[in-house]
Amino acid sequence: MEAIKWVLNKMSKSDDKHLGMMSTEQVSKAQAFHRSFPQYAVTPLARLEGMAAHLGLGSLCVKDESYRFGLNAFKVLGSSFAMARYIAGEMGRDVSQLGYDYLTSQDFRKDFGQATFFTATDGNHGRGVAWAANKLGQKSVVHMPKGSAKSRFDNIAKEGAQVTIEEVNYDDCVRMAAAEAAQTEHGVVVQDTAWEGYEEIPSWIMQGYGTIAAEAAQQLGEKPTHVLVQAGVGSLAGAVVGYFANLYPSDPPKFIVMEARAADCLYQGALAGDGRPRMVGGDLQTIMAGLACGEPNTISWDILRNHADAFVSCPDWVSAKGMRMLAAPLKGDPAVTSGESGAVGMGLISTLMQDESVQELREALGLNETSRVLLFSTEGDTDPDKYRSIVWGGEYPTA
């Protein structure tokens, strides 16, 4: 069985210029925007008291994003807020003036017209872009990397997007979307990865993701001691870490960033230790499709190099283990339907607490019976066939 790899963060600090974008004040604007949607509801925080006791933790909570806007994943929070911020800028208005009622009105269509939003996705982000564009009367074009699940393609197409599955990986799909947007009148790239010259929209997407962290903080009612968050390009990780670092500036939780082994660009950057991001190429084959991104968001990387405590590269069995544990919890604990990209935190925390091969990391992070651990299940069964083959069929066993 392939081993978990990890590295503690020894990188020198930067000037931390991006941390302020995830302040509680900035995130509250995103929360207010999301609350204007009739579909909005705070997603559940599953308190796994039995599992915490079983693993030797003080508490274990899982933020369950499978309920978000009926879309089975968290991504719509970022794309919808970024689209609103873009529209607000084009109209010379503040985003606080652009709630759901106005953005779906005839007055808005007359005032703004129509733009075309381009994106690349494994499924969840593209569905969020397509859903938001559909609701706001805009157009969307979505490119998916090779190997994308038909169920995810169908869910995007249902929202009226022009969607294709390409014969290239995720990062090449991003470049394709950007090139097409540049050649399209009123074409806009809505991508949660940042690169030189493309930072504004990714920063808005990260602020949109801040709604998850803010809700979780309010639901917890006390500071978590450890926050485990998964990363593809790192936008969610940077948003979560940035929010909690702002919320508890003098005594932040310990932050553990997890990636799929096949696309562990943040881990590779931390391993190099010089503060510069690294890229991972190839097909990026992993069951954690939402994390199959080999080029990091440069904004998020800057937040993570300053505030993350550890970076962990996880083989696929870690996620599969987490999926099964969340689906069949200890008696009295709520079940959580968590997909391949959502359950890696559960698989990792259980391994950290029970497997002596990672004892050094457990001790370095101070994980013990007093620890209050927060996880994020970022998606439900967005690929139902794959979910069942893992949870019911035992695919990717741990032994």
The backbone region for 267, taken as left when phi is positive above 0, alpha when psi lies in -120 to 50, beta otherwise, is alpha
- Indicate which residue of 75, 139, 254, 386 is catalytic: 75
CA dist 387 and 320 (Å) reads: 9
Place of tokens 């982000």: 125
Alpha carbon dihedral 16, 239, 324, 171, in 10-degree steps, equals -80
CA distance 213 to 372: 15
Judge whether 33 and 328 are in contact, CB under 8 Å: no
Q: CB of 182 within 8 A of CB of 118?
A: no
Catalytic annotation on 122? yes
Catalytic residue, candidates 29, 63, 64, 122: 122
Question: How deeply is 200 buried, as exposed, middle or buried, from its count of CB atoms within 10 A (0-12, 13-18, 19+)?
Answer: middle
- CA 111, CA 88: separation in Å to the nearest integer? 11
CA separation for the pair 341, 123 (Å, rounded): 11
What is the token pair recorded at 233? 């390009």
Report the catalytic residues.
75, 122
